[in-house]
Structure 1
Amino acid sequence: MTKNFNFLMFFHTMIMGTMMSMSANNWLIIWTGLEISIMSIMPMISNSNFLSSEASVKYFMIQSISSSMMMLGVLLLLINSKIDYQMILTSSMMLKMGIAPFHNWILEMIESVELMIMFLLLTLMKIAPLNMISYLMFKTNLFIFMSLLIGSLLGLSQTSLRKMMCYSSIFNLGFILASISLNSIWWFYMIMYSLMLVMILFLMNKMKINYISQLSLNENKSSLKMNIWLAMLSMGGMPPMMGFMMKLMIIQMMMTNKEFFLSIIMIASSTLVMFYYIRMSFISILLASSTVKWKIMNTMKSSSWIMMANITMMPLMLTLKT
């Protein structure tokens, strides 16, 4: 979508809807803010491409179903029904965010939208539903378990970088859901995840790549390859990058609360996620490139902004953790 006045208007109303949902003190205003955000991002999804128009229709249908479920849960709450309204409200928010097992719709959309819209769908549009889940007392261990397994296992077989980022988002949402029940650290995790995602999407747009094979065939500058290598290692959780420190804090808190089973699943699934990010890094740096490998070190100065953003975050996170 062209970055014109219409785009700025829809983006502004989407931000206002998200802020309205987060600052509201009743369910009706929360629902209103969510609907404003949904109706604002739909024109941003749709453009001259036929596939993006189809994606906006799919998005509208899914969000309509989840909004109907949310209103049903609110009505059950108001009439003091014996039906578990918290389960219905939580399920509606999971469907809105595309968390496993409600993740298939976002995978179909992600290939036909622009990278900026993809970033908004994977980050900003999930903040208000996550904030609403933090108000509920419903146990989300099943959703955490499925998100960790599906996000790590199904991401191994992907060749599309967009779908791999989407499965990585599902995996990280499992960590965010686990941190919601602990304290408000999920805000910090979400900010750090958004920062890492915008680094990778920026480099994907600059290098014009959408598939793993293009990492080896695309003869970009070594500085760009070094940048995307560092960004992927951070997203995968390689120490001492900031992606590792975020996951370490959540796992430590889970073990402190004696959630040993979920902690084991987190560690095992993080290993799988680290594997497919290392695989992409290996392809981009070491394979099928005519660039002399030892000359990569000469480009470290040009790629220092991503490296510094990843490494200098570690002392800050250790300070916040203590």
Structure 2
Amino acid sequence: MMKNFNMLMFLHVTIMGTIMSLSANNWLTIWTGLEISIMSIMPMIPNNNFLSSEASVKYFMIQSISSSMMMLGVLLLLINSKIEYQMILTSSMMLKMGIAPFHNWILEMIESVELMIMFLLLTLMKIAPLNMISYLMFKNNLFIMTSLLVGSVFGLNQMSLRKMMCYSSIFNMSFMLASISTNSIWWFYMGTYSLMLISILFILSKMKINYINQLSLNEEKMSSKMNIWLAMLSMGGMPPMMGFMLKLMVIQMMMSSKEFLISIIMIMSSVLVMFYYLRLSFVSILFASSSMKWKAFSTVKSSSWIIMINIFMMPLLLMLKT
């Protein structure tokens, strides 16, 4: 009980630090909120895995380096230095979020943390740095293209679902960076991506799956396999799932901004991401299965919530967009 109370307390302080950074009007308060979030999530990282303590120390070192870079950029800003302080501030935030090419640290620690901490690292801990980047007038095209290529290409040869989710997060972060100039778009993208990610992690936790080959060997009900199948298709961006609407919205924005090179890279890399999510879908629903898929939802009524969200969300998003 005490452990649960401590986890709840640290989670609340982490959320409080993020809110503090979002509502701040000066760089010092933003830095303070970021440090509160970092110090609060660190006690939640250690678990029964013997590598979790190493992951906690690694996370502390990386975040300390990025915070030092941020304070250096703020000092250069305050003294009106000719050094490009916006580049230093942006690089510190990219390192803090684990965006390519600063992504190796999050890939190494993601295997040893619990799924709830993984969700926090990939969603909540990236909101405040993204909001800070939106304050800077710095072109992020290099980081966007690098994240698109790294997240799509390097995810093809992964057998670990955790690392695949991490590469997918890097890929989706590039779409958020591309729309960082419009707060309503990247906030909506982050919220919808968080909904898709938590649905996948909930199913993986329930089925106790960590690797691709476990998808075909598990003895779960067909309704559970259908749920993970639809969640994977939505995360990959298969129309008419809601994940497709997010990517379409950002690509349309980039085309209207005359960013044709980034738009082409987005489209080509989205095909690669769709490929490895389709591979997961085939393994989970087609192989080693002799039952008829269209009867999966006729027996369990509670298993249809994912298909309802994924399919019927896209017409609603189109209505809101217009």
Which TM-score bucket, shorter chain as reference?
Answer: over 0.9
Deviation at 1:289, TM superposition (A): 3.3
Secondary structure at the aligned position of 2:15 is classed as helix
Q: Which moved more, 1:308-317 or 1:52-61?
A: 308-317
Length, aligned pairs only: 322
Deviation at 1:48, TM superposition (A): 3.9
CA–CA distance in structure 2, aligned partners of residues 211 and 299 of structure 1: 28
Which digits, 9 at most, give the CA deviation of each residue in 1:246-296, with x for residues without a partner? 100111111011111100000000000001001100010111235455643
The verdict on how the C-alpha distance between 1:2 and 1:46 changes in structure 2, with shifts beyond 3 A counting, is farther
The verdict on how the C-alpha distance between 1:27 and 1:294 changes in structure 2, with shifts beyond 3 A counting, is closer
Which digits, 9 at most, give the CA deviation of each residue in 1:13-63, with x for residues without a partner? 101100000000000000000000000000000134321111000000000
Matches of residues 188-267 of structure 1 in structure 2 within 5 Å?
Answer: 188-267=188-267
Deviation at 1:314, TM superposition (A): 1.0
Deviation at 1:182, TM superposition (A): 4.0
Tell me the residue number matched to 2:176: 176
Matches of residues 1-322 of structure 1 in structure 2 within 5 Å?
Answer: 4-289=4-289, 291=291, 293=293, 295-296=295-296, 298-299=298-299, 301-322=301-322
Tell me the TM-score normalized by structure 1. Answer: 0.97
Query: In 2, are the aligned partners of 1:196 and 1:231 still within 8 Å (CA)?
Result: yes
CA–CA distance in structure 2, aligned partners of residues 195 and 48 of structure 1: 27
CA–CA distance in structure 2, aligned partners of residues 71 and 214 of structure 1: 45
Q: Percent identity?
A: 82
CA–CA distance in structure 2, aligned partners of residues 195 and 3 of structure 1: 27
Secondary structure at the aligned position of 1:156 is classed as coil
Matching residue's letter, 2:278: I
Q: Which moved more, 1:282-291 or 1:84-93?
A: 282-291
Query: In 2, are the aligned partners of 1:87 and 1:138 still within 8 Å (CA)?
Result: yes
CA–CA distance in structure 1, aligned partners of residues 162 and 3 of structure 2: 22
RMSD (Å), alpha carbons: 1.5
Matching residue's letter, 1:67: S
Query: Tell me, which stretches of 5 or more residues in structure 1 are unaligned?
Result: none
CA–CA distance in structure 2, aligned partners of residues 99 and 142 of structure 1: 11
Query: In 2, are the aligned partners of 1:222 and 1:299 still within 8 Å (CA)?
Result: no
CA–CA distance in structure 1, aligned partners of residues 118 and 262 of structure 2: 29
Deviation at 1:297, TM superposition (A): 5.3
Query: Tell me, which stretches of 5 or more residues in structure 2 are unaligned?
Result: none
Deviation at 1:303, TM superposition (A): 2.4
CA–CA distance in structure 2, aligned partners of residues 273 and 38 of structure 1: 30
